[in-house]
Amino acid sequence: MQPYLDEPKAMPVGTPGKSGYLYLGFELDADGRSIMRDLDRRAPLIVQQELYFDECMPEMPCVYILSSGGPNVDGDRYRQYFAVRRDAYAHISTGAATKLAEMRYNYSGMRQHILLEDNAYLEYLPEPVIPCRHTRYICDTEIVVEPTATLFYSEIYMGGRKYFDSGESFLYDVLSVCTHARRPDGEPLFREKFVVRPHMRSVRTIGVMDDYEVFANVVVLTPKEHADMIYDATGAYVDSERRLAVGITRLPGDCGLLYKVLGDETAPVKALVRQFCSTVRMQVKGCALPDEFPWR
């Protein structure tokens, strides 16, 4: 991000409303029910309370992260911390897609920390990220996970505002995303990073995006016995009629799986991500993911 360090002219970096902070902590209460015990937030990030609407797991707290600030603009800096304590479980999503506005001076950044203790279970399925023309965005996600815990973490990135004006597919300046995980004792598990700069190197090549528009990246960290069953139940394929491509591979050290989807539209890509999440939940928790709400 070195070329994009100019101070924004309207609101400098660090201005109230541009430094979002969120801490969510989940644990079991005295009755053995998973609850959101800790909540600390700073605008523009908003979380009100946990909801229990999942008919397949009615005891699971479901939390939606909202933003009062509209799209991300240059100079925005966000931090999110999720902690799932021993034996607890939770589902986290966002209320809408994360829109990255056009940026002229600086960049927008997100730093995430996810902690899962023994036998914890977390599903984190945020809505897609939409980078507009000249967007600069960097995201770093650090995961600390016990060997007995399970994390389902998905990211969906669109090429841009596909139907805006004449289209904005891959006209952003830079998209830098890094995800890395370790055990609590410091043992490294994996590190994946991709940096996309379409103006320097086209993504319209085989092995990258080819002629697809939407990219989903899913990390599943889970014990080996679960990972083996999930891997065997998930196929890799290219469907030319539905314009979808799906791949799955194992992460180093038998710590989990990496699942990727390419498509033309967000709806079918999201459906495949949820289908895969349902496979994971069925293996780990013994029940499927419910159907998505129609308004989502």
- In this structure, are strands 174-182 and 150-158 parallel, antiparallel, or unpaired? unpaired
Residue 278, SS3?
helix
- The band of 213, judged by pLDDT with boundaries at 50, 70 and 90, is very high
CA-to-CA distance for 32 and 49, rounded, in angstroms?
Answer: 19
- The band of 69, judged by pLDDT with boundaries at 50, 70 and 90, is confident
Lowest model confidence (mean pLDDT) among 40-44, 81-85, 246-250, 290-294: 290-294
Q: Do 35 and 50 touch, CB atoms closer than 8 A?
A: yes
Taking only the tens place, the pLDDT of each residue in 117-143 is: 999 999 999 999 999 999 999 999 999
Lowest model confidence (mean pLDDT) among 5-19, 38-52, 169-183, 241-255: 5-19
Among 11, 127, 147, residue whose Cα is nearest residue 76: 11
- The band of 17, judged by pLDDT with boundaries at 50, 70 and 90, is confident
Q: Read out DSSP for 85-117?
A: -TT-EEEEEESS-EEE---SS--EEEEEEEEE-
Element (H, E) at 3: none
pLDDT score of 11: 87
The average pLDDT across 235-244 equals 95
Taking only the tens place, the pLDDT of each residue in 260-292 is: 999 999 999 999 999 999 999 999 999 999 988
Q: Which residues are within 8 A (CB) of 210 and not within 5 positions of it... i.e. 6 or more apart? A: 204, 262
